[in-house]
Every structure is written in C-alpha cells, then in structure tokens.
C-alpha cells in the first residue's frame, strides 16, 4: 500500500479504476432492475441502508450549518441517492456473477471500463478544482 501513497500515477489509476468499476456495476444494476423489476436485496436491508445513510448525512449537514429542516431534507435526498446507488451496484454485481457479462461481451465491457475511467478522472479533477476554488 506504500507504493500507492507515494506514486501519483498509481494513485490516479487505482482511484479511477475503482470508480469506473463502481460506475459499471451501477449501470449494469440499473439495466437489470429495469428489465427484471426486482433487486437481490430484501426490502428490510434496503430500508436499513437508507436509515444509516439518512442519519449520517443529516448529522453531516447539520454540522455544516444547515437548519433542522434543511439537514433532514438533505439527509433524505442523500439517503435516497446513495441507497439507490448501493442497490444498483449490488444488483449489477449479482448480474455479473450470474454470467451476465458473457451476454454483453468482453469488448463492450473493456470499452465501458475505459469510458468510465476517463469520466471518473474528469470528475476527480472537477471536484479538486471546486474544492480549491478554481472551478472552470
């Protein structure tokens, strides 16, 4: 792990690849959820994920200076978005584990990985500029 902390190229590749794999998992999960109208996670687990994210994000927004209603609304929006992304990711992983990637083909998967790696690098750079106040 020490190599990644010192080498900016390895850091960029590792982070963009991780984000790209998450994006691909979410995309496959959304496609699977739309076609099958179901998820591999039970409703109780989905509700638990939402509750944890809702509470954590509400406290986060309240500590950042939002009023009570604003922190609850922000927590609800963040909870819904993150819960949806997590459910879609695990649905995509389930789809891949059941052999769904073979139906898509390796060329499309490699192309999707490359596109998502480029997109994740653009997202990382945009967030860095936004944080530093030098947004485009």
What DSSP assignment string belongs to 2-38? HHHHH-HHHHHHHHHHHHHHHHHHHHHHHHHHHHHS-
111 or 99, higher pLDDT: 111
pLDDT in tens, 118-135: 999 999 888 888 888 755
Read off the pLDDT band of 85 (50, 70, 90). very high
What residue ranges do the domains of the chain occupy?
A: 16-104, 105-135
Region of 78 (left: φ > 0; alpha: ψ -120 to 50; beta: rest) is: alpha
**Average pLDDT of span 44-48:** 95
**Average pLDDT of span 24-34:** 93
**What CA–CA distance (Å, rounded) separates 123 from 100?**
28
């Amino acid at each position: 792990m020490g190599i990644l902390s010192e080498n900016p190229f390895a850091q960029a590749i590792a982070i963009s690849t991780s984000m790209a794999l998450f994006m691909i998992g979410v995309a496959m999960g959304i496609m699977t959820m739309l076609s099958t109208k179901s998820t591999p996670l039970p409703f109780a687990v989905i509700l638990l994920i939402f509750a944890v994210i809702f509470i954590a994000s509400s406290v986060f927004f309240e500590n950042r200076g939002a009023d009570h209603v604003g922190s609850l609304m922000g927590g609800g929006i963040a909870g819904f978005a993150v819960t949806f992304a997590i459910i879609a990711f695990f649905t995509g992983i389930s789809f891949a584990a059941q052999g769904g990637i073979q139906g898509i083909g390796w060329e499309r998967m490699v192309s999707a990985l490359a596109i998502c790696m480029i997109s994740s690098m653009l997202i990382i750079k945009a967030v860095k500029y936004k944080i530093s106040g030098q947004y485009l």
